[in-house]
């Protein structure tokens, strides 16, 4: 797995996951919507931890900094 996520991308995903968790903990969301959003939050956290998003590879996207020197 080659890293394809940059720092800003990871931070945004973690913040969104924490917001979703907070909404659930304070009973603002519940039911099916809560379950779906918690699954999305878990996926965001996992992809942030590993710096790898499978969807990015499917679409050829990479927000990770390149190793090539800037000319």
Q: Could you give the 3-state DSSP secondary structure of residue 59?
A: helix
Interacting residues of 51 by C-beta distance below 8 A, sequence separation 6+: 3, 4, 5, 10, 64
Q: Could you give the 3-state DSSP secondary structure of residue 14?
A: helix
Residue 40 burial (CB < 10 Å; 0-12/13-18/19+)? middle
User: What's the token pair of residue 61?
Assistant: 């996207």
Is 69 a residue whose pLDDT tops 80?
no
Tens-digit pLDDT profile for residues 19-44: 999 999 999 999 999 999 999 999 99
pLDDT band at residue 71 under the 50/70/90 scheme: low
- CA-CA distance, 45 to 64, in Å (whole number)? 17
- The pTM is what? 0.86
State the average pLDDT for the chain.
93
């Amino acid at each position: 797995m080659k890293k394809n996520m940059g720092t800003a991308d990871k931070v945004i995903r973690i913040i969104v996951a924490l917001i979703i968790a907070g909404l659930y903990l304070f009973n603002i969301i519940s039911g099916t919507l809560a379950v779906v959003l918690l699954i999305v939050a878990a996926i965001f956290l996992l992809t942030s931890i590993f710096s790898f998003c499978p969807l990015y590879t499917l679409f050829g996207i990479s927000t990770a900094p390149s190793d090539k020197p800037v000319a």
